[in-house]
Amino acid sequence: MCGIVAAASQSNIISILADGLKHLEYRGYDSSGIAFIQNKNISSYKKQGNVSELTQSLDKKLNANIGIAHTRWATHGKPSKENAHPHISNNNIAIVHNGIIENHLEIKNKFFKDLTCSSETDSEILAHLINFYRKENEIFEAVYLALKEVKGSYAIAVLDKKNPEKIIVARNGSPLLIGLGEKINFIASDAQALIEHTNKFVYLEDGDLATVTAEEVKIYNKDKESIRRETKKSKLSLNSNSKNGYKHYMLKEIFEQPEAVRATIQDRIINNSVPKEILGPNAKEYLSKFKVVQIIACGTSYHAALVAKHWLERLAGIPCHAEIASEFRYRRHAVQKDTLLICISQSGETADTLSALREIKEEDFYVGTIAVCNVPESSLARECDSTLITHAGPEIGVASTKAFTTQLAALMLLVIVLGKRFEITAELENSLCMQLKSLPEKIKSTLDLDNKVAELAKIFSDKEHALFLGRGSHFPIAREGALKLKEISYIHAESYAAGELKHGPLAIVDENMPVIAVAPNNVVLEKLKSNLEEVKARGGKLYIFADKKAGFKNDDISQVFEIDAPMNPVSPILFTIPLQLLAYHCAIIKGTNVDMPRNLAKSVTVE
Ligand code: M6R
C-alpha cells in the first residue's frame, strides 16, 4: 500500500530509485514520482499510471546523489499526477509518505487557513508543516515538531534543499527500513526494493526518526534520544523477484505451491509428530494455560482463519472464534479468560490486523499471541509472542495464492501443537502428519487440471456473475474462490454455504448464473448433493470440483472436475488450487491486469 524508496550516495542514485519503484509496484500502482536534489535545487517528476510511465519519462542524463521516490495507492484523492508523491512545499521540502494523516484538515485550519493545496492528499499538508517549522529550526527538529502535530500513521522520507546530503525519515504505524551499503545508504518500505544493492537492513520501530547520509545513519527514538537498532541480514534473493519464465507472477506462484507447502512443513514434522518448539521459547507459558482461541485476519488470510476454526473445533475440540480484523477492532467483545490470539497475515503489515493486535495486548484476558506470517521481519512477526513463518517465499501477485495454501499448512501444524492438551491423540497426530506430508505431491497432481480449467474459463469470461458453494471447512474455500475471481477478473462472484441457498440466494439462479461447487467426499456430501439438485431444478449450470470418489457424473447441466482429495482434513488445501486457476484464466481471457488488479494493492497498510 504505497511504496517508498530513497537513497543518499556519493554517486548517481536515479536508476536505483527507478528500479526500486519497479520492485515496489505491487504495493500500489496508481501513480508514482521521484524528487532529488541537483545543483542545490529540488527537482521532481510525477506520472499517473504504473511505474513504467514514470521511468520512461525520466531523462537518461539525470544525475543526483540523493533522492526519494514513491508509488501510490490512492486513499485521499483520486489517482492523478497532482496527487502523486513526492509533495513539495515552496521548493524547499519534498516528502514521500505512506499511511494516513487523519487530522490533515485540522492541521490545515490551524496553520495554513488560506493556503490552496495543489493536491487532494492528506500528505501534502505534512510537507508544508515541515517547511513551516524549518524556518526557525534545523531540518531534523522541523520534522520532529511537525510529526508531533500529526495523528495517524506514517512512514516518511524528507528532502531539504538546504541539506543536500541528508534524508530524514520517520515511522509510526507504517513499515520503513534502512538499507546499509558502502558509501551509500538506502531507505525503503520493504526490503524487496533494495535487495539488488544490499542484504543488510535496520528495521525502524514506531516513533523512530533517523537521518541518513551516504556515509552514516543515525537513529533516534520518539524523545530524540540517540538509539541503536539491530542490523539484520535478509535471506531474500533477487531470483525471488523474477517471473522465472511464467507470464505472470500469479501463475508462477500458483505453480510454486507444492514446493512452498513442502518448505512450510519440512523440519517441523519429526517422526510424524509436531514438536511444540516450532512456536519458540515464549510458547511454554501460554501453551499450558489457554482455553479458547481467537483468530483475526483480513481477506484471504481470514479465509484461512475460517478453515483453522473448523480444524480446531472438529479435530482438537478447542473453542475458536474467527473474525475479520477491521470488525473485531471496533467492537466490544465478551472475551473469555485465557484466550490465545492468533493473527494471520501474509505481509505482517496489514494495518487492521496490527491495530487489533496492539489493542489486545493491553488486555488481561489474553494469555499469548501467535503470528502466522510470511515475512519474518514484519511488524506482526516482531510484535507477537510467537511466530510461525509460512515459507511461501515472496508473493508478488496481488491475489494471494501460495500464501493461502502455506497458511493452511502452517495452521494445521499449529492445530496439532495446540490440540495435544485437548483431543489430538498420538494416533490422530500421526495421521494428520501423514496427510500434510502427502500434500506437495497431491497439489502437483491437482495442478494438472490447468488445461481443463483454462477451457472452463472460456464459459465464464462473458458472464457477469458467478456463485460459489461449499459446506463445512470447504465453505471458506468457496469464499476464497469467489474472492479470487472478482479480484482479478472483475466478475461479480458471491459465495454461500450450500445449505443456505434455499434461504434466499436461490432466487438469483437461472441459466445465466454459473454455479461452482466444492464437493469433497465427506460427511455432508449427500446434503451437498441435495443442495445442487435445487440448483439444477432452477436451470442453473453447475461446475463441480469433486473428489474422485464423490460419485458425480457429467450431464447436460453439470460438468465435473475430478480431484484426488480423499476424505481427510487437509482436503480444503487441494480444492483451492483449481479455483485459483479458474480466476487466473478468466482474467487472462478478459485481459485484466492479473498481477496488479485495478484499485488494489498487495499490502494494505492503512485502516
Ligand atoms: O497480508 P495479509 O495477508 O494480511 O493481507 C490481507 C488481505 O489484504 C489479502 O489477503 C487480500 O485479501 C488478497 N489480495 C486477496 O487475494
- Closest of 399, 395, 301 to residue 595, by C-alpha: 399
Taking only the tens place, the pLDDT of each residue in 147-189 is 999 999 899 999 999 999 999 999 998 889 999 999 999 999 9
Expressed in angstroms and rounded, the spacing between residue 301 Cα and the centre of ligand 1 is 6
H helix or E strand, kind and range, residue 320: strand 320-324
Residue 605, pLDDT above cutoff 80 = no
330-369 burial, b if ≥16 CB within 10 A, otherwise e? eeeeebeeebbbbbbbbbbbbbbbbbbbeebeeeeebbbb
CB 405 less than 6 A from any atom of ligand 1: no
> Which pLDDT value is given to residue 239?
66
CB 580 less than 6 A from any atom of ligand 1: no
CB 86 less than 6 A from any atom of ligand 1: no
* Minimum-distance ligand 1 atom for the alpha carbon of 484: 16
Cα→Cα distances 192→82, 159, 520, Å: 27, 23, 39
Distance CA 452, CA 447 (A): 10
Q: Averaged over 525-529, what is the pLDDT?
A: 91
Q: List the grid coordinates of 56.
A: 520512461
* Minimum-distance ligand 1 atom for the alpha carbon of 604: 8
83-87, 241-245, 252-256, 489-493: range with lowest mean pLDDT: 241-245
Distance CA 37, CA 363 (A): 48
CB 350 less than 6 A from any atom of ligand 1: yes
CATH number of the structural domain 248-446: 3.40.50.10490
> Which pLDDT value is given to residue 15?
95
CB 387 less than 6 A from any atom of ligand 1: no
Q: Are strands 492-497 and 465-470 parallel, antiparallel or unpaired?
A: parallel
CA nearest ligand 1 atom 7, residue: 299
Residues 6 or more apart in contact with residue 219 via CB below 8 angstroms? 178, 202, 204, 208, 209, 210, 226, 227, 228, 229
Q: Averaged over 187-213, what is the pLDDT?
A: 94
Q: Domains of the chain: which residue ranges?
A: 3-240, 248-446, 448-607
* Minimum-distance ligand 1 atom for the alpha carbon of 407: 3
- Closest of 174, 120, 122 to residue 149, by C-alpha: 122
Query: Which position has the grid cell 525471488?
Result: 240
Residue 241, pLDDT above cutoff 80 = no
Taking only the tens place, the pLDDT of each residue in 252-277 is 999 999 999 999 999 899 999 999 99
CA nearest ligand 1 atom 8, residue: 299
CB 304 less than 6 A from any atom of ligand 1: no
Expressed in angstroms and rounded, the spacing between residue 73 Cα and the centre of ligand 1 is 15
> Which pLDDT value is given to residue 606?
75
Expressed in angstroms and rounded, the spacing between residue 127 Cα and the centre of ligand 1 is 31
Expressed in angstroms and rounded, the spacing between residue 29 Cα and the centre of ligand 1 is 16
pLDDT band at residue 332 using 50, 70 and 90 as cut-offs:
confident
CB 396 less than 6 A from any atom of ligand 1: no
CB 177 less than 6 A from any atom of ligand 1: no
Residue 90, pLDDT above cutoff 90 = yes
Q: Which of 29, 250, 254, 300 to mutate to test the pocket of ligand 1 (most atoms within 8 A of CB)?
A: 300
Expressed in angstroms and rounded, the spacing between residue 604 Cα and the centre of ligand 1 is 8
- Closest of 196, 222, 257 to residue 143, by C-alpha: 222
CB 343 less than 6 A from any atom of ligand 1: no
Residue 1, pLDDT above cutoff 70 = no
Provide the percentage of residues in the chain whose pLDDT is more than 90.
80
> Which pLDDT value is given to residue 240?
67
Q: Bridge-partner residues for 226, per DSSP?
A: 220
Expressed in angstroms and rounded, the spacing between residue 346 Cα and the centre of ligand 1 is 7
Q: Which of 248, 372, 400 to mutate to test the pocket of ligand 1 (most atoms within 8 A of CB)?
A: 400
Q: List the grid coordinates of 380.
A: 506482526
CB 250 less than 6 A from any atom of ligand 1: no
Is 3-240 assigned to CATH 3.60.20.10? yes
Query: Which position has the grid cell 497439489?
Result: 443
CA-based R_g, the chain, Å: 25
pLDDT band at residue 592 using 50, 70 and 90 as cut-offs:
very high
CB 300 less than 6 A from any atom of ligand 1: yes
- 224: region left, alpha or beta (phi > 0 left; psi from -120 to 50 alpha): left
Phi, psi of 548 (to 5 degrees): -50, -35
CB 347 less than 6 A from any atom of ligand 1: yes
* Minimum-distance ligand 1 atom for the alpha carbon of 297: 4
CA nearest ligand 1 atom 9, residue: 299
CA nearest ligand 1 atom 4, residue: 345
Identify residue 254 by its one-letter amino acid code.
I
Burial class from Cβ neighbours inside 10 Å (0-12, 13-18, 19+) for residue 192 reads buried
Q: Across the chain, which distance is largest between two alpha carbons, in Å?
A: 80
H helix or E strand, kind and range, residue 251: helix 249-255
Distance CA 389, CA 387 (A): 6
CB 89 less than 6 A from any atom of ligand 1: no
Residue 30, pLDDT above cutoff 70 = yes
> Which pLDDT value is given to residue 473?
96
Q: Which of 26, 29, 346, 373 to mutate to test the pocket of ligand 1 (most atoms within 8 A of CB)?
A: 346
Cα→Cα distances 383→200, 330, 349, 386, Å: 21, 20, 11, 9
CB 379 less than 6 A from any atom of ligand 1: no
Residues serving a catalytic function are: 2, 602
Provide the percentage of residues in the chain whose pLDDT is more than 70.
99
* Minimum-distance ligand 1 atom for the alpha carbon of 401: 16
H, E, C per residue of 511-571:
CCCEEEEEECCCCCHHHHHHHHHHHHHCCCEEEEEEEHHHCCCCCCCEEEEEECCCCCCCH
The CA-based angle 140-145-146, given to 5 degrees, is 100
CA nearest ligand 1 atom 11, residue: 299
Given a contact cutoff of 8 angstroms between Cβ atoms, the answer to whether 394 and 365 are in contact is no
**Same fold flag, 3-240 and 248-446:** no
Under DSSP, the state recorded for 505 is G
Q: Bridge-partner residues for 6, per DSSP?
A: 68, 187
CB 417 less than 6 A from any atom of ligand 1: no
Q: Does the pTM exceed 0.95?
A: no
Q: Which of 604, 605, 606, 607 to mutate to test the pocket of ligand 1 (most atoms within 8 A of CB)?
A: 604
The topology under which CATH files domain 448-607 is Rossmann fold (3.40.50)
> Which pLDDT value is given to residue 201?
96
Q: Which of 250, 328, 350 to mutate to test the pocket of ligand 1 (most atoms within 8 A of CB)?
A: 350
CB 374 less than 6 A from any atom of ligand 1: no
- Order the strands of the 514-519 sheet from edge to edge: 492-497, 465-470, 514-519, 541-547, 558-563
**Angle, helices 402-419/257-265, rounded to nearest 10 degrees:** 20
Expressed in angstroms and rounded, the spacing between residue 357 Cα and the centre of ligand 1 is 17
